[in-house]
Amino acid sequence: MTDSKDRLLPEKELEFIKRIHGVLIDYLDQKENSLVNPSMAHDNPKSGVNFSLDEPNDHDSIESLIDQYLGSAIDTSSPHFYNQLFSGFSTMGYLGEIIASITNSSMYTFEMSPMATLIEVELIKKMTTIVGYENGFGTFVTGGSNANLVAMLAARDRIYPKSKKEGLYNEKILCAFVSEESHYSYIKAGYQLGIGIDQIIRVSCDQTGHMDTDALSLEIKNAIHAGRIPFFVGATAGTTIRGAFDPIKKINEICKNNHLWFHIDGSWGGSVLLSKQHSELLDGSEESDSFAWCAHKMMGVPLMCTVILMKDKDVLRNINNVPSTDYLFHGEKMDLGLHSLQCGRRTDSIKLWLTWKYYGDIGFEKRIDRLFDLAKYAESKVRSSKLFKMVSPCESLNVCFQIQPKELNQSEWSTFTKNVRNRLVEEGEIMVNYANIGDISCIRLIIVNFNLRRHHLDTFFEGIETVSKETLRDLFN
C-alpha cells in the first residue's frame, strides 16, 4: 500500500524534527543553570524577533525562532518559580503531551480514540472513587474555570430542567452562593449561564479565609425573602490566595436542608485527597454533587489537565444531549463526546495516566506530603524572621506574608511589599507573586514544585531579605 512517495514526512522534515528534539533536550539539560525569567537578562526580550507572518521561512529561521522563544520563556519548571498554582517539569507529562500531539486524536468518539477513551474512563473511575462517589462519572475539561461552569450548568438544569429548551425567560431569578475568596470563574459562570453576575452572592469569610457558614445561611434566607431562588453553593477546597479549605460538612448540611446543589471547587486543593495525612481537609467530599479537580496544579502534570466529576453518572449526558449530532455519534455507548461541552477535545488524559502509572498512588502521596512539610518549613522561616509577618496561617501550600520593616509605618507595608516583589522578579532569578487579602498586600508563596527542597526556600528567603534591604536603603537615600 505505501511506497516511498507516501511517506508521512519527507526526509528533510524528519531530519528537522530530530534536530529540534536535540534543541529541546539541550534546553531541558541546561535549565538547572538558567534564570527563571531569562528575558530580564536581555535588553529587550522582543528585540530581534520577527513576529510578522507574511513570508515563508526555512528550517534554519524556524530553528532560530524556536531558540528565541525558549530563550525568553519563563522557566516554570524551576524550583525558584513560585508565582502560580503550578510549577515543575513532569517527564511523563511531557511525553504524554508529545504523544497527544503526534497522534493528534480527539476525544469525541471511541472510534477516534479507543485507547484514550479507556484511559479517560479509568481515570474518571479512579478520581470519582477518591472523592467518594459510588457511581459517579465525569469528563476532562479545559481547566478549573470550565469545571465550575459545567457544575453550575448541571445545577441549573436540575432546578430548571425546562431551561435547556426554553431558556430562563419565564423563570424566577436564580442565585448562587460562593465565598468572597472563591475563584473569579464562578462569577464568569454566572454571566455565561444567564444567571447574572449580581446573582452570584459572595458570602463573607472568617478571619482565615473560610466561608462563614452563618453568613451563608443568612444570605440564603435573605435571597428567599427577596423572591429569588437559591440553587447552587460552591465551596472552595484550597482558595486561590490563602489555600484555605471551606468547611465542607457544614456547607453540605446547609445545602441538604435547602435542597441546593453542592459543588466543591477542588481545582487547587482537590489533590489533598491523595494524601492520608491531609485528606481530612476534604472530609465530607462524598456528600457533594460535583467536584472540580486540576491535575495541572498540585499533581504536577503539564497544563491543562482538569476533570469535573459528578455524583450522578447521568448528569453530564443529560446536559450535553442536543439534536444534530448524528453525523458524529453513531450509537456507540463509549463515545465520551456525549458527556462533554466540547466537540473536538484533546487527549489530556494520557499525560495524567502515564504520570499516575509511573508514580502510583504512593508516589503522589509522598510528593504531596513533602509539599505540605515544605510549606510548614516556609511558614516557620517567616515566623522566625523580624522582617516578615504571616498575614494568614498556612493551611495548605500557600504561604502569605508581608514585609514589615520597622523603619516604615504600617500604612506603607503593602506598597513596600509589592515594590520588593517587583524588584525581585526584575532580577530574574526568582518569581513569586503578590496578592491582596482585604486591604493588605502580601507575598503569596506557592509551594507546589515536586523538585523543591529546603535549600531552595532558604535561597528564596535570603533573596527576598536582600532585596528588601536594598529597597529600604534606596528609600532613605
Ligand X SMILES: Cc1ncc(COP(=O)(O)O)c(C=O)c1O
Residues that bind ligand X (CB under 6 A): 85, 143-145, 183, 185, 236, 238-240, 265, 267-268, 294, 306
CA atoms of 240 and 86, how far apart (whole Å): 12
Closest distance of CB 411 from ligand X, Å? 29
Q: Is there a contact between 277 and 271 (Cβ–Cβ < 8 Å)?
A: no
Closest distance of CB 45 from ligand X, Å? 24
Closest distance of CB 182 from ligand X, Å? 7
Q: Which is nearer to ligand X, 270 or 405 (CB)?
A: 270
Q: Which is nearer to ligand X, 290 or 306 (CB)?
A: 306
Closest distance of CB 61 from ligand X, Å? 34
The residue ranges of DSSP E strands in 393-438, in sequence order, are 398-403, 431-437
CA atoms of 464 and 420, how far apart (whole Å): 7
Q: Which is nearer to ligand X, 148 or 402 (CB)?
A: 148
H or E element that contains 158: helix 144-159
CA atoms of 463 and 59, how far apart (whole Å): 41
- C-beta contacts of 39-47 below 8 A and 24+ residues apart: 39/72, 39/428, 40/425, 40/426, 40/427, 40/428, 41/428, 42/72, 45/72
CA atoms of 236 and 307, how far apart (whole Å): 15
Q: Which is nearer to ligand X, 120 or 335 (CB)?
A: 120
Q: Which is nearer to ligand X, 201 or 307 (CB)?
A: 307
Q: Is there a contact between 260 and 224 (Cβ–Cβ < 8 Å)?
A: no
CA atoms of 339 and 332, how far apart (whole Å): 13
Q: Which is nearer to ligand X, 178 or 350 (CB)?
A: 178
Q: Which is nearer to ligand X, 14 or 184 (CB)?
A: 184
Q: Which is nearer to ligand X, 83 or 267 (CB)?
A: 267
Which residue has its beta carbon closest to ligand X? 144
Closest distance of CB 236 from ligand X, Å? 5
Q: Which is nearer to ligand X, 145 or 275 (CB)?
A: 145
Closest distance of CB 84 from ligand X, Å? 7
Q: Is there a contact between 67 and 30 (Cβ–Cβ < 8 Å)?
A: no
Closest distance of CB 309 from ligand X, Å? 14
Closest distance of CB 263 from ligand X, Å? 11
> What are the φ and ψ backbone dihedral angles of 436, each rounded to 5 degrees?
-110, 135
> What are the φ and ψ backbone dihedral angles of 297, each rounded to 5 degrees?
-100, -95
Q: Is there a contact between 432 and 37 (Cβ–Cβ < 8 Å)?
A: no
Alpha-carbon torsion (304, 305, 311, 314), positive or negative: positive
Closest distance of CB 112 from ligand X, Å? 25
- C-beta contacts of 18-22 below 8 A and 24+ residues apart: 19/59, 19/63, 20/63, 20/66
- The secondary structure of 288-341 as a DSSP string is -SEEEEETTTTT-PPSP-EEEEESSTTHHHHHH--SS-TTT--S-TT-GGGG-S
